[in-house]
Amino acid sequence: MSKFPTDKITFVSSGSPESEEARDILCTRYGNCPFDTAQVIVALGGDGLMLETLHKVMGLSIPVYGMNFGSIGFLMNDYDADNLPERLASAEPTVIHPLRMTATDKAGNQHTALALNEVSLLRTSYQAAKIEILIDNKPRLDELICDGVLVSTPAGSTAYNLSAHGPILPIDAPLLALTPISPFRPRRWRGAILSNRAEVTFRIREIEKRPVNAVADSKEITDVAQVSVSESRSHAVTLLFDPGHSLDERVLNEQFDY
């Protein structure tokens, strides 16, 4: 059962005609309180809206319940305008800790960002990237020649990570997935599964000839020289799911969906 009070609801939508219509119906039926006084956020849209909303509530201890009006809706519940307070009261919470990215660009400027899905490094020219990989400051791969590489949380392991042929991680596993994107050399290297206590450092080689951008969810840093990634235990967000449709159940189903 949800441990969160759900009397004060704030509805947000992706802006699509369908989600806006649903928002009007739900606001009329259940009211709509200001964001800063909400006990729960109901997000009407797809996974992109959910990630955007989760970043907004980071550190506020406000749970988010999604209703799907997007393409995939992996982080969302089915839409139904009826019995919303009861659904919220019985919803199952899932807590997610984000990744913290610290990126240094080629000018020496340092940037930080949080990612709930993944931190990815991507080449930005016709030249393949050349990246050295260190785990806890110990060199593990001298040179990865690739289109890119990413570090994924369990929650994000079914997103870009899965498309890049990375492993699906159980939602409560204390693990991170390190996955190359279109690796050329070493040809047989397919990534690694790491402890969520590990710090992953990427050093970009030939940064002028082979420029690389780093992306933490939707925040992009251009022309990076070095990027460090680790889990931030000081930050957390809470998603709410209908009973029987929790995120760990969806992750399990994804592994048997062929």
- The tokens for 48 are 């992109």
Active-site annotation holder among 47, 82, 105, 147: 47
CB 183 within 8 A of CB 191: no
For residues 162 and 141, what is the distance between their CA atoms, to the nearest angstrom?
22
All residues at 6 or more sequence positions from 24 whose CB lies less than 8 Å from its CB, including other chains: none
Is 24 a catalytic site residue?
A: no
What count of other Cβ atoms lies within 10 Å of the Cβ of residue 36? 8
Helix, coil or strand: residue 2 = coil
For residues 76 and 43, what is the distance between their CA atoms, to the nearest angstrom?
8
What count of other Cβ atoms lies within 10 Å of the Cβ of residue 51? 21
- The CB-side HSE value for 97 (13 A sphere, CA atoms) comes to 15
Helix, coil or strand: residue 182 = coil
Give catalytic residues, as residue numbers: 47
